[in-house]
Amino acid sequence: MSEPETLTSLYFDIRDDQWPLIYDAKYNVSFLGLERFHVFDAKKWRNIIENLKDAELITDESLVKPVEATKSDLLQVHTKKYLRSLKWSTKVAMIAEVPVVACLPNMLVQYAYLKPMRLQTGGSVLAGKLALERGWAINVGGGFHHCSGDRGGGFCPYADITLLIQFLFMHRLIQNAMIVDLDAHQGNGYERDFLGVPEVYIMDMYNRNIYPKDKEAKQAIRRKVELNNKVEDMEYMLKLRQNLKAALNEFKPDILVYNAGTDVLDTDPLGALRISEVGIIKRDEFVFEICKEHRIPIVMLTSGGYLRKTARIIADSIVNLHKKGLISNKKQIDCSKRWCYVRDYYIRRKTKPGACGEAAKRRFELLRFMDKYSKKYTSSNGDDGETEDKSDGTQSQNEEPDDMFEVEIDLNENHDKDNVDDACEDPIAVTKRKISCIQAQVSTALNEPDENDLFFCSMAKIVKKLPTYEQAQLRMQIGSLVGEAELRCIGIESPVETKVQHFEQD
C-alpha cells in the first residue's frame, strides 16, 4: 500500500464521553417526497436513533457526527470515470433504482441523494478508526456492499466498505481484515475490489436465488454460505455459528467489518428469507460476542433492510448488545492521543523527514525502541533462518567486537607497577597503554547488562507474542507516554518557565 501524502479529514478523535456510534441527521434522504415511492425506508437511520433515544441509551451529545467524504477521499478507491458518471442523473437513477430521478436536475440529485450517501461513507471510514480505539464502532448508515471502485448498483453509489479497509491499510493501522456480510444479498461490490487480495478475508452468507448473482465476484469469497429461499432461524443460526467459528480459526484479522443487513427479516420484499426479529437480535449478539472472545475490533454497518419496522429492530439489537455488556461508551484503553502520535510517527516522519521538529523526530525514534532491542538481541540459529532472543542483553558469541575495543587489558594491574613502568617506558608507549586501558574499561561497562535494556527487551518479547491488534495498541500507548514525558521534561527545562519562576521569586 502506498503511503498517504496527507491525512484525511475523515479521521478525528472523539471525546471520552461519546459513544463510537456514528450518525448525522443529514444521513436521511429527502427527494421532494419522491422517496416515499421507493421500497427503501429513506428515514430508516433517523428512526433508529429515535428508538435508541426512547430506550434512554443515548443522547444527541453522545453521538459522533462524521465528515462528508471528499472527492480526494473517494479517489482512493473509485475511478475518475465512475465519479464523473454520477454527474448524470440517468446514471444515479439506475443505481438508486428510482426511474423518476433521471428527470431531475443533477444539482438536486447531488444535494438530496448523493451528499447524504457521501456523509454515510465518511461515517463508515471513521468507524474503522474508532473500532481500533474502542474495540467496537457502529455506523448507523453505510454498508453499500454492491458498489465497487468502478461501478455502482443496488442502491449503493459509493464503495464505503472498500474505503473503510483501504484507509486503515493506507495509514498502517492494520495488516489484514475480515468482512462478514450477513445481508441477504451477495456483497459483490467490495468482492470485486478485493479479488486476489489475501490480506482481506471475506465471509458472505446470502440468498443464492436473488440479486446480484455475480459469479466473478464470488471468486473473492473465502467462506461462501449460500442459502435457499425461506430459510428460518434455526438453520440460519446453525450455519452462521459453524462458518464464522471456522473462518476465525482459518484467519486472524486485525479488524472485522460486519455488514449487518436486516433484509433477511421475514416478509422483507427483497430478501426472501424468514428470519424473525429475535433471530436478527441473536445474530448480532453472536457476532459481537465472538469478536469479544477473540479480542477483535468490530465495525457494524446497518446496510440493507426495507421494512418500516427495520429501524426498531436494529435499535433493539443495539440495546441488547449494551445489556449483554458487548458495547459501552467506556474506553477500552487510554488512547486520547493515539491518532496524533500515529500521524507524527508513521506518516509525516516517513514521507517528509524534514517536516517535523527535532522533538517529534526524537519521539519517533523512542517509539521504535522495541524493534531496535528485539533485533539487537537476536542471533542466527543454524541455516533454517530461525532466531533466538537473548533476553540477558549480552553480546552474541558470533558477533564481532567493535574495532575500537579490540585490545584486552588486565584491569587488576597494581598501580605501583604502573608507575614503575611509566618511568621506564617510552612516553608514547605509556600514553597508548593508558588509552587501551580506558578503552577496555569502556568496553567492559558497555558489555554489562543495562537494567533498562533488560526490562524493555523482556517487554518486547512479551508484546511480540500478543495479537497484532494488541501490539498496535501497546505501541500507541507507549508512544503517548514517552511523548508526554518528553514534553514535561521540555516544560521543566524551558528558559521561559525558568524566567517566570525567577520573576515570581523576586
Residues that are catalytic: 146
Per-residue cell: 127: 468507524
CA-to-CA dists, residue 499 to 491, 492, 493, 496, 506, angstroms: 12, 11, 11, 5, 10
Q: How many other CB atoms are there within 10 angstroms of residue 332's CB atom?
A: 14
How far does CA 98 lie from the centroid of its chain?
35
Do 25 and 115 contact (CB within 8 A), yes or no? no
CA distance 226 to 224: 6
Do 163 and 74 contact (CB within 8 A), yes or no? yes
CA distance 41 to 358: 54
Q: In what order do the strands lie in the sheet with 136-139?
A: 21-22, 136-139, 298-301, 256-259, 177-181, 200-207, 223-227
Do 166 and 148 contact (CB within 8 A), yes or no? no
Per-residue cell: 288: 459481537
Report the relative pairing of strands 378-380 and 387-389 from DSSP bridges. Answer: antiparallel
Report the relative pairing of strands 200-207 and 177-181 from DSSP bridges. Answer: parallel
Q: How many other CB atoms are there within 10 angstroms of residue 201's CB atom?
A: 23
In DSSP notation, 58-110 reads --GGGSB------HHHHTTTS-HHHHHHTTSHHHHHHHHT-GGGGGS-HHHHI
Q: What angle do CA 165, 167, 170 make, to 5 degrees?
A: 110
Closest C-alpha among 454, 148, 415, 126 to residue 299: 126
Closest C-alpha among 148, 164, 151 to residue 81: 151
Per-residue cell: 158: 459509493
CA distance 97 to 8: 31
Do 138 and 300 contact (CB within 8 A), yes or no? yes
DSSP state of 384: S
**For the chain, what percentages of helix, strand and coil (3-state, to nearest 5) are there?**
50, 10, 40
Grid cell 532472543 is found at 389
Per-residue cell: 76: 482512493
